[in-house]
Each structure stands twice: as C-alpha cells, then as structure tokens.
Amino acid sequence: MPRIALGQLNTTVGDLDGNVARMTEWTLRAADAGADAVCFPELAITGYPPEDLVLRPEFVRDGLAALEALATATAGACDVITGFVDRDEHGLYNAAAHLRGGQVRARYHKCQLPNYGVFDERRYFTPGTSGRRITIGGTEAGLSICEDAWHGGLPFIEYAGLPLIVNINGSPYHHGKIGEREDVLRARALETGAWILYVNAVGGQDELVFDGGSMVMAPDGIVVGRAAMFEEDLLMVDMDGGSGPATTDHTAAWPAETEEVYRALVLGTRDYVRKNGFEEVALNLSGGIDSTLVAVIATDALGPGAVRVLAMPSVFSSPESLADAEDCARRLGIRLDVVPIGGEVDAYEVSLRPLGAADGLAAENLQARIRGTNLMAVSNATGAMALATGNKSEYAVGYSTLYGDMAGGFAPIKDVPKTLVYELCAWRNAQGPGEGPIPARVITKPPSAELRPGQKDTDSLPPYDILDPIIERYVEDDLSAEEIVAAGHDAGTVARVVALIDRAEYKRRQAAPGVKITPKAFGKDRRLPITNRYPG
C-alpha cells in the first residue's frame, strides 16, 4: 500500500541550489506525512527548459552534483523521483532518477524527445532506448517523462501489466491543453492497465507557463485526483498496491477557460518579473482596454505597491481616456503619473520637419516612441521592469510601434487576441471587488490608438471579431489563404490580413517575450524567416 506524494514544484532555471533546497524541504514534508516516495517534475534539478545551458559541460556537471546533494539530503526521509540532465559517453539525456538512502538507485532516459513547437530536445539530448522499472513501497513502477506519454511506443510498450507508471512533466500551458493531457494519459492507462501518476511543473519560464494540474489516472481512464492549477501543491496519493482504488488527500477544481487563461497570465507575469530579480513594474496606461488589462494583471500578480503607471496624453488623446486611466489606477490603488508629451512632440517636430519626416505614419509612431522612451527612463531610474501592452491581434498584423508601445521587458498579453482581451476584462470585473477594477467605458468604447484626430482601429483593420478568427486559422492552424476563404471568410479581407501578418515578422522578431496561452504563440513556437517572398 504505497503512499506517494506528487511534488508539483515551481523551480527556477539555473538555480540548482535553490531547486535542491526546495525539493529537500518537500521531501521531508512528504516523509513526515508517511509517504514512501515523492515525485518531482521533469528536469526539476535544473529547471525546465534549460535550453543552451546544457551545452555547457560545467552546467551538466553542477547539475549532477546537485542531484547527489539531493540524494544525500533526503537519505533518511523517503524515496525521491526527480528529473535531471544525465550524461554518458554517448551524449546527454533528459533523465529521471530514483533516489533512496542517499544513493541514485536508478536512472531512466526519456525515449521520446519533442522537437516541434517550442521544443528543441533533439538539439540537446540523445533518446533513451528502453524503460526503467523501480519498486516504490513494494510496488513495481515504470518511469517515464512527459512526451513519452504522448506516444504508444517506448517506454510505455514495455510497461503493459505493471501496476504503476510515474510520468514526470514540464508540460507548458495553452488553452485546451488540460483536456489533451487527460486524453493521452487515458489512452496509456487503458493500454497498459496501470495507474499513472502524472506530476507537472508549475510556474513561469520566459514565454512558457507550466500550469500544474498533476493528476492520478486510474487504469480505467478516470482521473481520481488532481493537484492545484497555477500554484504549487503537494498531492498525497494512497495506492492499494495496484489493482484496487487509489485515493488522494485533496483534489482541485479545473477552472473554466477564461479563468484558466487569466491565471496563466498572472502567474507568467509574476514569475518573469520575480525570477529575473525585479520588484516592481511600470507601464503606460492609455485608458484603452489593452493597457488597462495589463495593469490589472500586473496588480493581481505583484500587488498594487509594485505597479506604477504613466498616462501620457498628446493632443490626440481624448479627455475620456485620461479619466478612464485615472479611474482604473484609483480602483487598483496603483501610482499614476500624468506626463503630457506635447513638449517632446514639438521638439522632434523641429528636428524632423526639415527632413520631411514629421507627418503621417512617422508622426503617429513618434508619439508611441516618446511614450516608450519616457517609460524606459522611468524603468532605468527606478529599476522597475517596463511592461509592453500589445495584444496578439496587434502583434499579428503589425498594428504596433517598434520601440514605442512594443517597448518593455515583458509583454503579458502578447498571445491574447483582442476578442479574448474583452472576455478576460469581463471575467475579471465579475470577480470584483464591487464592479471590478476596469471602468465600464474602457470595455464599451470603440478601440483607438489615438495617434491622429478621430482615429479608430477599424480605420486600418477589420473588426476584431472578423480579424481574430483569420489570425487563428493562419497562425495557429497553418491554413492557407485559400483554405481560410473556403472556411467562409471574405477573400479580400483574408488576403489583406495574411499579407499584414507576413510583413510584420520583422517587428515580432524584436518583441519582448510574453505568456504563451494559445497552441501557437509568436516567438520560438513559430519560426518564420523574415526574408520571405512566399506566397509572393
């Protein structure tokens, strides 16, 4: 009757000592609660994904020493299963270790190495060629790592008939992913007849958010217990030895999709800021819906004392926008400074007029760049990380200014389409307090960049409820323009949107990272050449 703890930990990439200290603490807690073993996520020693750090031999060496240190520190507690980078004369391995009594008793090498989407594991690792069985509290268990479970081949093919399979993960979030995970685990459970203990990481790492949701999958394909989502959790599982029911000490709810996305954005923003050593953030709050949502996310992530905003009206800014920004800042309890940019605009005019560069697009971008420059000055002077406020629809079609509204260290809603921005605002307001942090007018007024008189987004772009589905089909589904038209969209609009998306690749290449929440985010998920004449 083994008792096994699922240690859903928030590690930090490269923080070998910190990760080991935290695993040690949790192992002692689990042992105190009577656990025979505790299971930690994929590459928990190094944090995931360590990327090119693993190409440094001393990083692998130090990680192996950290694994030994964990074994020593937990020798008198209980068994530990954790992820680490292993190496031998053939190469490096994404590996799982079984620690007991101060020793590394078993090593398993991940067989299925993902090399698509955000994953580059073939760049680093050699695939394992067989499974590895261990015994936990008298029960035989097979070890596996993340992608292994997404295939019916190695090592699961060797585990048929085993009572138990441990699957340790660093599985990044996107909306809909939780259901996909359950489906593949169900398929593996039904194939093997085993209980599957699925342990995921939690926390943000650059563009990725690991959402937790560790779970116990029964041999009949039923989830019998689930750890928290978007936070650390230690889930205790009592097994009956293999054939009867398992029980967990608690189980967490699966949030509805809008809440799920919102919590991913909050966690991703908090961890990017904190893990990079920042205490505060600063952003430009225009009174528009995007910057308002970013201010709210930042405040939920870091607290109102850690967020400051600048409102920088120009002659094209409406009084309503400034009033909305002030209202929002008041509701959130964050510091707002009003910094009119007319003086800067006039000074540039003197320089740019003789060069013929003071009108049109140049003049519009200029305002955005003045705001970006002031924001960066505040960031430089205060040590606050600047946040960029653009959404996915804007990044897609290039409706954003390089070095202007794209300026910042992190772009929280970069992967959130505009239509979802509205849904998130409505959801967040419904959580209160009172009528919520977002003034109603911010949600109801027509979107505008306010860079020229009377400007509306729809002057340049199709309405977002038409634009966003086209972007999704082109970017996330890799459909061709013809296929999108065949799906019922207007041919002229599709052609225009696709051309805008292709042409904006150079801007996106210089964008700050943001939280991936869709199946295909801009960034390392989507690697298109800038120089590209297709489809011509």
Chain positions 341 to 400 lying near a second copy, rule: CB under 8 A, are 341, 343-344, 346-348, 350-352, 354-362, 365-366, 369-370, 372-374, 376-378, 380-382
Cβ atoms of residues 132 and 107 within 8 Å: yes
| 513 contacts a second copy (rule: CB under 8 A) | yes
Burial of 107 (0-12, 13-18, 19+ CB in 10 A): middle
Q: Which stretch binds a second copy (CB under 8 A): 43-51, 142-150, 153-161, 174-182?
A: 43-51
| 14 contacts a second copy (rule: CB under 8 A) | yes
Taking residues 397 to 436 in sequence order and writing x for each that binds a second copy by CB under 8 A, - otherwise, the string is -----xx---x-x---------------------------
Residues in the chain: 536
Q: Which among 156, 226, 168, 167 is positioned nearest to 43, based on CA atoms?
A: 168
Omega of the bond prior to 155 within 30 degrees of 0, cis?
Answer: yes
**Whose Cβ is closer to a second copy: residue 32's or residue 52's?**
52
Q: Which stretch binds a second copy (CB under 8 A): 23-31, 86-94, 391-399, 519-527?
A: 519-527
| 528 contacts a second copy (rule: CB under 8 A) | yes
Q: Give the shortest CB-473-to-a second copy separation in angstroms.
A: 12
Task: Measure the CA–CA gap between 169 and 147, rounded to whole angstroms.
Answer: 8
**Whose Cβ is closer to a second copy: residue 101's or residue 383's?**
383
| 55 contacts a second copy (rule: CB under 8 A) | yes
| 511 contacts a second copy (rule: CB under 8 A) | yes
Q: Give the shortest CB-157-to-a second copy separation in angstroms.
A: 20
Interface of this chain with a second copy, residues 98 to 137, rule: CB under 8 A: 115-116, 120, 122-123
Catalytic residue among 39, 42, 425, 516: 42
**Whose Cβ is closer to a second copy: residue 179's or residue 534's?**
534
Question: Which of 18, 91, 102, 153 touches a second copy by CB under 8 A?
Answer: 18
Catalytic residue among 39, 78, 110, 364: 110
Question: Which of 25, 32, 52, 279 touches a second copy by CB under 8 A?
Answer: 52
| 339 contacts a second copy (rule: CB under 8 A) | yes
Q: Which among 64, 195, 79, 191 is positioned nearest to 134, based on CA atoms?
A: 79
Question: Which of 157, 303, 487, 506 touches a second copy by CB under 8 A?
Answer: 506
Q: How far is CA 224 from CA 46, 137, 219, 242, in A?
A: 30, 20, 10, 14
Any residues with CB less than 8 A from the CB of 70 and at least 6 apart, and which?
Answer: 20, 23, 24, 45, 80, 82, 99
Question: Which of 179, 244, 319, 536 touches a second copy by CB under 8 A?
Answer: 536
Question: Which of 1, 32, 34, 56 touches a second copy by CB under 8 A?
Answer: 56
Question: Which of 243, 276, 431, 460 touches a second copy by CB under 8 A?
Answer: 276
Report how many residues bind a second copy under the rule CB under 8 A: 90
Interface of this chain with a second copy, residues 171 to 210, rule: CB under 8 A: 204-206
| 456 contacts a second copy (rule: CB under 8 A) | no
Q: Which residue has the tokens 């409102």?
A: 311
Burial of 96 (0-12, 13-18, 19+ CB in 10 A): buried
Number of Cβ atoms within 10 Å of the Cβ of 118 = 18
**Whose Cβ is closer to a second copy: residue 33's or residue 339's?**
339
Task: Measure the CA–CA gap between 403 and 112, rounded to whole angstroms.
Answer: 41
Give catalytic status of residue 42 as yes or no: yes
Token couple for 71: 């074994």
Cβ atoms of residues 410 and 298 within 8 Å: no
Q: Which among 418, 414, 406, 528 is positioned nearest to 474, based on CA atoms?
A: 528
Give catalytic status of residue 110 as yes or no: yes
Token couple for 47: 């944090």
Question: Which of 199, 216, 512, 515 touches a second copy by CB under 8 A?
Answer: 512
Q: Which stretch binds a second copy (CB under 8 A): 45-53, 194-202, 213-221, 392-400?
A: 45-53
| 90 contacts a second copy (rule: CB under 8 A) | no
DSSP state of 42: T
DSSP H helical segments within 383-490, as ranges? 392-397, 418-430, 440-444, 457-460, 464-471, 481-486
Token couple for 198: 């699925």
Q: Which residues pair with 93 in a beta bridge?
A: 86
Q: Which stretch binds a second copy (CB under 8 A): 84-92, 422-430, 439-447, 524-532?
A: 524-532
Give catalytic status of residue 328 as yes or no: no
| 535 contacts a second copy (rule: CB under 8 A) | yes
Q: Give the shortest CB-513-to-a second copy separation in angstroms.
A: 7
**Whose Cβ is closer to a second copy: residue 163's or residue 172's?**
172
Question: Which of 16, 283, 332, 420 touches a second copy by CB under 8 A?
Answer: 16
| 499 contacts a second copy (rule: CB under 8 A) | no
Coil/strand/helix, residue 166: strand
Task: Measure the CA–CA gap between 80 and 120, rounded to whole angstroms.
Answer: 27
Catalytic residue among 39, 78, 111, 146: 146
**Whose Cβ is closer to a second copy: residue 279's or residue 482's?**
482
**Whose Cβ is closer to a second copy: residue 19's or residue 74's?**
19
Going across the sheet that includes 247-248, the strands are 103-109, 91-100, 79-88, 37-39, 3-8, 233-238, 247-248
Q: Which among 151, 213, 201 is positioned nearest to 177, based on CA atoms?
A: 213
**Residues forming the active site:** 42, 110, 146
